[in-house]
Amino acid sequence: MSATVNQTPAQLRCGDRVIQEILSALPGSIRRLVSALPLYVQEKVEEIRIRQGRPLVVGLSSKDSFLNPEGQLTGRAREAYQVTLNDMERLIHLISGSSLYALEEELRNGFITLPGGHRAGITGKAVLDGGRVRTLKYLSGCNIRISREIKGAATRILPYLIEGRCGIYHTVLVSPPRCGKTTMLRDLIRQLSNGIESLGFPGVTVGLVDERSEIAGCYKGIPQRDVGVRTDVLDGCPKAEGMMMLMRSMGPRVISADEIGRREDVDAIEEMLNAGVKVLVTAHGSSPAELADRPALGHLIRSKWIERFVILGRSRGVGTVEDIIEGKSMRSLGVK
């Protein structure tokens, strides 16, 4: 029997723990529909796309589906629940804590970070100031990306990244969107910070610049995700500036950040390399060759400073390790 929206409060609380974290950010009508999904479906939800006047979409690990007014998945847009103006207004009220003004800086970047590290991307009309985006108004679309913590996700690749007893290789995790690089990065940080008994690795101090609050999922500065006992988190700070701040003040052995790509990111990474700090970062792409074609990242790749590239994809599901490449020779180390 398919799940319906006629569930008791006790039943709604029995869903996937991660989905429960974002329910309070959803307007009541959409909350009931998402809550009605069977547990095995909730566990596969990666995105919830809410667009005013259009069908409600749930992004799953295998495909995108529409959600109908009975809380069931459907492949037909005409059968789907249609998002109303009231839904959109209530959603913005909830995710902003009733104060969009207080979140103006986040809106300038097009997203709001929710407790637990979930990210709500926002679309609407851009308000410009001197040719630059100052904020957004007439908000009409939202994509809630679900952050999932999978402990042990990085265990398989750790032997390729450990250098000696206490060090790691300078590493870049490379993948297209929605292929698990943030989840993989989080678990790498956790294990390197805590120590890895099976590899004789005692654990090191990690400095994490969590610009979008997606890795540690900080709420009021306190990590909600497990990033390890020796990890210092600088939350909501631009990556380049944050790396320098952590290097000067916290003395990390490893510095980590998500989604590098700008020139200032690369300049900061070069400072880390010259200071003897190990680098563990992610980048959007499908291969080192693709990264090398970008103006900022190309210099970093061609300089042969990066020692390991971990290529992630979806060939066998989200987070598939497609290959591990040695950075100097660019030869494949294979995936066992």
pLDDT tens digits, 54-75: 999 999 977 899 999 999 999 9
Q: Which CATH number fits domain 158-326: 3.40.50.300, 2.40.160.10, 1.10.3720.10, 3.40.190.10?
A: 3.40.50.300
pLDDT tens digits, 226-242: 999 999 999 989 999 99
CB-based contact 67:74 (threshold 8 Å): yes
On the CB side of 58, CA atoms within 13 Å amount to 28
CB-based contact 296:266 (threshold 8 Å): yes
pLDDT tens digits, 305-325: 999 999 999 888 888 999 999
Taking the domains of the chain in order of start, what are their residue ranges?
Answer: 9-145, 158-326
Residue pointed to by tokens 């497990």: 226
Strand stretches in 130-247, DSSP E: 132-145, 162-163, 167-168, 171-175, 206-210, 231-235
Calculate what percentage of the chain has a pLDDT beyond 70: 93
Side chain identity at 212, as an amino acid letter?
R
Residue 10's pLDDT band (boundaries 50, 70, 90)? very low
Report the alpha-carbon angle 181-182-183, nearest 5: 90
The tokens for 259 are 């989604």
Amino acid 100: pLDDT? 65
Q: How far apart are CA 164 and CA 71, in angstroms?
A: 52
Is pLDDT above 90 for 224? Answer: no
Q: How far apart are CA 78 and CA 253, in angstroms?
A: 54
Amino acid 1: pLDDT? 29
Q: What is the mean pLDDT of residues 253-260?
A: 95
Higher-pLDDT residue of 114 and 41 is: 41
CB-based contact 187:310 (threshold 8 Å): no
Q: What is the mean pLDDT of residues 192-208?
A: 95
Decide the pairing of beta strands 254-257 and 206-210.
parallel
Class of domain 9-145: alpha beta
Torsion of Cα atoms, 293 then 296 then 299 then 305, to 10°: -110
Torsion of Cα atoms, 111 then 103 then 241 then 303, to 10°: 10
On the CB side of 90, CA atoms within 13 Å amount to 15
Amino acid 98: pLDDT? 64
